[in-house]
A and B are shown apart, each in its own frame.
Chain A
Amino acid sequence: MSANVSKVRVQTQDFSVPEEYALIADDNSDGAVVTFVGKVRDFNDGSAVTDLTLEHYPGMTESVLNQIATEARERWPLNKVTIIHRVGTMSLGEQIVFIGVTSAHRKAAFAACEFLIDFLKTKAPFWKLEAGETGKSWVEAKDADEQAAKMWDRS
């Protein structure tokens, strides 16, 4: 029987993809495990980035992430859902976010994983402050992210 477990964590420390994978992939009723990892990349809008600091709204963040996980469950038959988002300062190449979803079939798992990251980027109260060669600047919200989240609107 599926356990239908959701795990939401906001933390400063790094996470281990193999460990998180093992935790969600242990149920033989699931044929599909889809994971996504977001990393700190070395550029944004053509400028070099040296590190990234993530601020969040404690309390509200966890509540929004749980709501997003619940909404994903209402849309697709999911078993395990894990969302881990880091806060604080991260260097180039470091992991920022982990999304892991399991389901009996791949289509639900792929769709739910994409939905979760699209919604997280536009609904969860996290803000990125990038440091580059010319100083620090807050990352502007992208219309493309808003459009991606809107694609999931139910008509």
Chain B
Amino acid sequence: MINVLFFAQVRELLGESAIQVEATAEINSAETLRAVLASKDEKWGKVLASDKLLVAVNQTISGWDTQVQDGDEVAFFPPVTGG
């Protein structure tokens, strides 16, 4: 399983803070995970299509081509605004 987390606007718009996704051959990168999640329905497609969306793989902000595999934690969130 891949543990998927959502934060801030992304969490609020999707109505989910965490889901589990079965690791399949189709999901081999952050980008393919995003594509699989975006295909769930129109809302997910729209939220995850944002060009400002960031991804962290195992708690490190990563590029979309970063490899994703069974047991990983992948988080999707908007640009950060702390401080």
Contact = CB atoms under 8 A, between A and B. Distances in A.
Interface of A: 38, 54-57, 59-60, 63, 85, 96-97, 117, 120-129, 138-142, 145
Interface of B: 5, 7-9, 12, 52, 56, 59-61, 75, 77-83
Given A125-B7, A127-B8, A57 B59 contact: yes
B81 A127 contact: yes
A132 to B, nearest CB: 15
The 8 A-B pairs with the shortest beta carbon distances in the complex, nearest first, are A126-B82, A141-B79, A127-B8, A121-B83, A60-B59, A139-B81, A128-B81, A138-B9
A60 B56 contact: yes
Contacts of A55: 7-8
B75 A57 contact: yes
A89 to B, nearest CB: 15
A124 B54 CA distance: 12
Contacts, number: 73
A13 to B, nearest CB: 17
B82 A85 contact: yes
Contacts of B75: 57, 60, 125
A57 B55 CA distance: 12
A121 B80 contact: yes
B19 to A, nearest CB: 16
Contacts of B8: 55, 127, 129, 138
A122 B80 CA distance: 6
A123 B61 CA distance: 9
A139 B81 CA distance: 7
Contact of B83 (A59, A126, A129): A126
